[in-house]
Structures are given as structure tokens and as C-alpha cells.
Structure 1
Amino acid sequence: MTRVLLIEDDPDIALIVRHALERSAEFSVEHVANGETGLERATLDPPDLVFLDLNLPGMDGIDVCKSLRTNDQTRDTPIIMLTARTAESDVIRGLDDGADDYITKPFSVREVVARSQALLRRAGGRQPTEEQLTARGLVLDLARREVHAGGDEVTLTRKEFDLLAELLRTRGRVLTRERLLEKVWGYDNVGTTRTVDVHIRQLRRKLGDEAAGGIDTVVGVGYRFVEMDD
């Protein structure tokens, strides 16, 4: 049984999420209504997955997410943000601070279950490797999950790292947004392709001109990594 910690102050939203997950018979859900209690429960008895409301009273979701990512017990626990905020800056803050994905309210029961299953599959399927990927001054150490651009270390979130690795592995090939959702997030016909676009923008911002120039937008289709500018 997969143990889920739901940190959500809205009782109606909490009920929807809880029923959606527990109806599938593979999840057990513990619900808390504030960030302080959620952080305490997560660190004392680490769950397999966290649903985290961004707009909590007191200690907000961003601060909870940061704390979870700096704690050895919850460093690698998948986190899905729940947000009613539509501003991209709010979403980016959450992703930058360690959330794996976000769901915008209102959402469907199917989306809650499918995204949970996909993130857990991805988390359980990571294999250690000594492989390195290099291109345009980039060096990705897949074993240590470290990135250097032009000799300088670059700090990426887990999903930014996975997305960049997928682009480098398939360099020269055009990958649709749907394909990237499937490969990096594990989603199959669920989720929004905006997730990919947000992460691509963050990668370009962090990598610097030379490396970022390799991430090519193919209008109306998706992205590819190119070794040289056209």
C-alpha cells in the first residue's frame, strides 16, 4: 500500500483527493490541514508521496517544500503541488524549490490518480549509472546527478535534470511535448504540456547562452537538442 501525505487546508479539496486515491485501493492517505503539522508528520514517518497545497495558512507550501527537500528523510519523496494560482511565477517557485509537478484546481479524479501512479513509477525506476552526457560545454553526470555548463556547476531541480538528460540522449531528434511528458514524468495521455514549457524556460535561464542555445523549439511540435546552431 502506497502511503500518501496530503497537506491541504480546504476540507472539500482534501475530501476529493482522499476519495480519489483511496478508491483505487492502492493508496492510504493521511490528511493534515497546515504546513507545520505536515512537515512534522513527513519527517517523523516519511510517506511515499506528498500532495502539498501551495497556499497554506501559516507556513506556506513553498516553505514546506523547501524543508522537505533539505531533510534526509524526505529528500527524494515525490511531491505534487495543488494550486489555485494561475500565475506562472508561482508555479515556477514551487518547481524550483523541489516539487516534481503541479495540479491546478479544479482537477479531475482521474488526473489525481494517474499523476500519482506516474510519479511513483518514475521514482521507483531510477537506476544508478556511471554514464556522462556531454554537448555544447555541458557535462551531465547521471550517477551523481550533477550538471556543469562551461565548467561551472549548475543547480537544477530533479525534473529539470531529467528533462535535460532526455534531450541530450536523443540529440537531433524532435520530441513532442507529449513524448517528453511520457519519458520524463511518466504520464500517458494525462497532464498538461504546459509543464514541459515551464521547465524548458527554466533550463534556458539556468544553463547560460551556449548550452541554452542547444535547446531548439520546433514550433507546433516540441523540442530538440542541437549540437550546432543552424
Structure 2
Amino acid sequence: MPEPSRMPCVLVVEDERSIAQFLAASLSAGGLRPVGAGSAAQALAELERLEGLDPPRLLILDLGLPDLDGVQLIARLRARPATQATPILVLSARLQEAQKIAALDAGADDYLTKPFGVGELLARVRAMLRRAATPQASAAVLRVGELALRRDTRQVTLRGEPLHLSPIEYRLLERLARQPGQVLTHRQLLADVWGAQQVDQLHYLRIYMGHLRAKIEADPAAPRYLLTELGVGYRLASE
């Protein structure tokens, strides 16, 4: 176990004491150094304090904060230069689907639905830290398992064999491949692939996702690569 000062810092914004303690214990056991805040105001104060010392590598925040809506806090965090690119993991209740989508659209990177276990929490945190440490957005070749997308030639291969995609299918896959493992909402994908004026045309997305699965998945009904987040959006699986 590394020295505490060398452990990656994670800011946990959670006002419910029992959950905050569970998160702190789980993160510590996973080799991370949690710093707690019970409100949005405390979170912003902690970020100011840590900026010159050891800025958090990841933010975990509950949507139901006592002093500010969690979505509003995410918007504030994304407006701050110091936290503009810091990964944000949102904690939400099962009945907070609309808030969950709003949080992702506001700039959150992923979410966990309560209740969740230690293993799921740490796996999601490790994946987010890996993605932050090795950004793929500018890579010439994006790879996930046996699927490869070459951005300069717009060529897609699966197990070394070329896939023939339409321009929209390519744009949809390329958008997902920029952030493998990260959930993207329906509105995000529709805006980025079809344009902001088409964000309500969910049937476009469903049709083209079906086309992509038919070309990529061995069993489109049980996809390995193109995963559905029910009621929220899609993600491209990561290794």
C-alpha cells in the first residue's frame, strides 16, 4: 500500500453520514485517499484548499445535497478551469432517472445507482481514473477489444476484418469510441451525431444502434460492445 500522501485524492460530496463513511472506507481499501464534504459549499471550499496541494483526481457526488442541486453543482464544477476535466461520478437513487440524465448532460462522466457494492464502486472508479490518465480522444486508432477504429482513414475493423459502415453509423461509433466505458445520454449522442435540432428524435438513435449491432455483435440481442443503459443512453464497453 502506498504512503497516504501518494494515494490519488478523491473528493466525496455526500451529506448522508453512513454512505459517506462507507465510501471513505471503500476508497481507502482501494488505495485511494478520500476527502469528504457534506454540502456543495463545503465541496467548493475543499477544492479551493486542495488546488495548491493535491487536487482531486476524481469527484464523487450525490445528487441530493442540502444546499444546492447536484446538477447545478456539476455545472459550476465544469465552469471552473481547475475542475473542467476532472472525472465526476454521480450517485443517484433508483427513482432519479431524470436527474441522472440531467447530470450526465451537465458534464458528469458516469453514475452509480444506490444501493451499490464495494466491488462495483472500485471498478467504476479505477476505469474512470484510467481513462483520465490515458485520454483517447486524439488517438489515431481507437481500440476496444477486437474492434478498432482508424480515425484518419475512417476505417473500422473487427478481428482484423473491415466493416462497411454508413457515414452516420461511423459517426455514432466514433463518438462512443472517444469515451469507451463512459455512458453517453440519448441527447448527447443525438446532438453530436445528428445535430442539436434533432435531440428529441430518439428513433434515429435506436435504428442506427440496431444497424451497428447487426454489423459488430456476434449476438445483437446480447451485445458485447454496444451496451444499453436503460432509459439513459449507451456506452461502448471497455476492457
**Normalising by structure 2, what TM-score?**
0.63
Change (3 A) 1:73 1:108: same
CA contact (8 A) 1:78 1:119 kept: yes
Instruction: Work out the CA distance in 1 between the residues paired with 2:136 and 2:49.
Output: 27
1:17 maps to 23
Gaps of 5+ in 2: 1-6, 141-150, 155-165, 214-219, 228-239
Q: Alpha-carbon deviations, 1:72-100, whole Å to 9, x = none?
A: 00001011001114242111100001111
Alignment of 1:81-230 (within 5 A): 81-126=90-135, 129=138, 136=167, 164-166=175-177, 184-185=180-181, 195=183, 199-200=185-186, 202-204=188-190, 207-208=194-195, 212=204, 215-217=208-210, 218=213, 220-222=221-223, 223=226
Report 1:66-81 matches (<5 A). Answer: 66-81=75-90
Q: Tell me which structure has the larger Cα radius of gyration.
A: 2
Query: Corresponding residue for 1:33?
Result: 38
3-state secondary structure, aligned to 2:12:
strand
Q: 1:22 to 1:163 in 2, by over 3 A?
A: farther
RMSD over aligned CA atoms reads 3.3
On the 8 A contact 1:162/1:184 being kept in 2, the answer is: no
CA deviation digits over 1:19-57, x for unaligned, max 9? 001012x21111110011102222442311111000111
Against the structure 1 CA distance between its residues 121 and 60, is the aligned structure 2 distance closer, same or farther, given a 3 Å change threshold?
A: same
Code of the residue aligned with 1:88 in structure 2: it is E
Equivalent residue letter for 2:208: I
122-131 vs 96-105, greater mean Cα deviation = 122-131
After superposition, the Cα gap between the structure-2 partners of 1:91 and 1:28, relative to the gap in structure 1 and judged at 3 Å, is same
TM-score, reference length from structure 1: 0.65
Aligned length: 177
How far apart, CA to CA, are the structure 1 residues paired with 2:28 and 2:71? 26
- What's the secondary structure of 2:185's corresponding residue? helix
Q: 1:69·1:75 contact (CA, 8 Å) conserved in 2?
A: yes
Distance in 2 separating the partners of 1:88 and 1:6: 21
Q: How many Å separate the matches in 2 of 1:59 and 1:136?
A: 42
Aligned-partner Cα distance in 2 for 1:77–1:43 = 14
SS in 1 for 2:102: helix
Q: Structure 1 stretches of 5 or more lacking a match?
A: 141-160, 168-182, 187-194, 225-230
User: 1:99-145 CA distances to partner (integer Å, 9 max, x unpaired)?
Assistant: 110111111011111111110001101157385577737997xxxxx
Match of 2:163 in 1: none
Change (3 A) 1:166 1:98: same
Percentage of identical aligned residues: 31
The answer (yes or no) to whether the contact 2:169–2:208 under 8 Å persists in 1 is: no
Aligned partner of 1:185: which letter?
Answer: G
Contact 1:86 1:104 in 2 (8 A): no
2:34 is the counterpart of 1:3: no
